[in-house]
């Protein structure tokens, strides 16, 4: 398939037929929603404002779980960018 020759199906048709957007972004949205709901719950129950940790503090943390989360996140971002640059959206979905 070539962009120059336009011999590929319309992305809108592909999304409508196969639901790629839903399958890829819905898990991300659900994870984000889970974070926001729990942050609001903490704010209500504890009476404190939820402030996410900044990246610099996270990278300097000696906590093993913080280090693992940071590494896993950076690895995922690197993988998703690489596969999206290669137009391999199906691989991005399978990695989740």
Classified as helix, coil or strand, 60 is helix
Round to whole Å and give the CA distance between 66 and 85.
28
Does the pTM surpass 0.75? The reply is no
User: Within 10 A of 23 (CB to CB), how many other CB atoms are there?
Assistant: 15
- The band of 47, judged by pLDDT with boundaries at 50, 70 and 90, is very high
14: Cα separation from own chain's centroid: 21
Q: Return the pLDDT at 22.
A: 66
Percent of the chain topping pLDDT 90: 23
């Amino acid at each position: 398939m070539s962009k120059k020759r336009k011999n590929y199906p319309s992305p809108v048709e592909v999304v409508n037929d196969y639901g790629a957007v839903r399958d890829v972004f819905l898990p991300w949205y659900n994870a984000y929603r889970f974070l926001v709901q729990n942050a609001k719950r903490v704010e209500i129950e504890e009476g404190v404002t939820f402030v996410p940790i900044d990246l610099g503090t996270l990278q300097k943390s000696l906590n093993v779980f913080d280090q693992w989360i940071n590494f896993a996140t950076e690895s995922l971002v690197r993988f998703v960018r690489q596969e999206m640059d290669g137009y391999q959206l199906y691989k991005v979905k399978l990695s989740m």
